[in-house]
Amino acid sequence: MRLPFSLRSIASAAFAFAGASCHHAAAPAPRVASADGFVVVDAMVFDGERFRAGNVYVRGGSIEGFVDAAPPGTPVIDAKGQTLLPGLIDGHTHIGTTTDHLERFVTFGVTTVVDLFGPPEIIARLRADERTKESARRAALVGAGNLATAPKGHGTEYGVPIPTLEEPGEARAFVAARRAEGSELLKIVFDTSTNDVGGQSNAMPTLRADTARELAKEAHAQGLTVAVHTGGCGDIAEAASLGADVIAHGCALPDDDPLPKTLAARGVYLNPTLAVQLRPCGLEYWIPMVRDAEIARRLTGEERERLGKDRHDHDVACSSGRLRLVREAAKAGVKLIAGPDSPNRRIPIGASLLAELDLFAQAGVPIEQVLASATSHPASAYRIAGRGRIAKGMRADLLLVEGDARTSVRALWHTRSVWRNGALAYTAPR
């Protein structure tokens, strides 16, 4: 699915300034946990798969595990009435050229982002200081770098030269070149659609099935996860047969379509990007967020104004099939990945991931699967080691929110504290 609002501004600026140093927004240095760490007590804990009550002990940037009581002298954080989760993972975004976006992600509880198409030079630079003290206030980055697309295909329309290919015989060298650039996964464009979700014509060349299949084969041989950008439901089904690990974008699923069972049988993850796909459908999912004081203060004035006016007639036919895909996929056992494809259609970073989770819940997905879609599922799909779960030995990327997330995913709108590598990265003003 190609979107009328593109990444042109981000892509062109990113490549144009790839040689420039990244700008770091001013922010106070994070408070690093002491050598003895800290214990979060009396929280309801979502460990990445299920809920459990308990106290979580953090030391040296890692999770020591669940404990009955804090070790003597260890600082205690009273979290009664709150929920502790792994730091959220945004499974589909495009970060642009500066660290500003990564710092904003953290304020919404997002500690890792997966960039599914961006300049490899920028991605490499941002990842280079991942373990520095300064990076604690920014979301960590996992990047695809350049995508695999046909000449004049999706990704080439932004006015910036990128590598392309056509034949299966080019796949091995193409994948090797992406790995040499530092790509941590391969994104393949396989999109035969002729109209975008808003109904506008946008037909573009795409890779042939044999080339896409060979790319997936080579990526797996070279140790890379494969995400496939798709158009309609037919593209999704074929991409699953070609070797996709992750489907990037959903479709309007007809009644009784076997696609969810097909994805489940092949063990393919689904990233439906509902927040961006449903925006032209008139489903006013942004209105409650803009009216929520804690969300609103983390949006820019321009975002609040734009989203607050984002009202038009709800086209049920536009939204129902896309919500049906998510609901039926979850029922079939497909693992969902939350990642709204921000900032396409000008949806705001960070907040749009929370909107995506809310839409999953509205579609009828059980709460534990909703939360797993932004924690353990993307961590597993993209092989993000040490993240997405609360367990002994995992990295201490954590999110503490007000309220009980078992009863409403909107508890995640009310961030209290965010930690990166055990360092306090963000605390909500009281």
Tell me the pTM: 0.91
The three-point CA angle 97-416-86 to 5° equals 70
Three-state DSSP state, 111? strand
At 369, list the tokens.
Answer: 């699967």
Q: Which CATH superfamily is domain 88-387 in?
A: Metal-dependent hydrolases (3.20.20.140)
Q: Quote the longest CA-to-CA distance of the chain.
A: 65
d(CA 404, CA 290): 21
- The tokens for 73 are 């002298």
DSSP code, position 33: P
Q: Where are the domains of the chain?
A: 31-86+389-430, 88-387
Start-to-end Cα distance in the chain: 41
Q: Supply φ then ψ for residue 220, to 5 degrees.
A: -65, -40
DSSP 3-state assignment of 78?
strand
Length of the chain: 430
Q: Which residues contact 263 (CB under 8 A, 6 or more apart)?
A: 236, 240, 247, 270, 329, 332, 334
Rounded to whole angstroms, the Cα distance separating 82 from 125 reads 36
Per-residue tens of pLDDT for the chain, all 430 residues: 554 434 444 444 444 333 333 333 333 333 334 445 999 999 999 999 999 999 999 999 999 999 999 999 999 999 999 999 999 999 999 987 667 789 999 999 999 999 999 989 888 888 777 766 677 889 999 999 999 999 999 989 888 899 999 999 999 999 999 999 999 999 999 999 866 555 556 789 999 999 999 999 999 999 999 999 999 999 999 999 999 999 999 999 999 999 999 999 999 999 999 999 998 887 778 889 989 999 999 999 999 888 877 656 678 888 999 999 999 999 999 999 999 999 988 889 999 999 999 999 999 999 999 999 999 999 999 999 999 999 999 999 999 999 999 999 999 999 999 999 999 999 999 7
Domain 31-86+389-430 maps to which CATH number in 3.40.50.960, 2.30.40.10, 3.50.50.60, 3.40.50.720?
2.30.40.10
**Could you tell me the two tokens for 236?**
């999704």
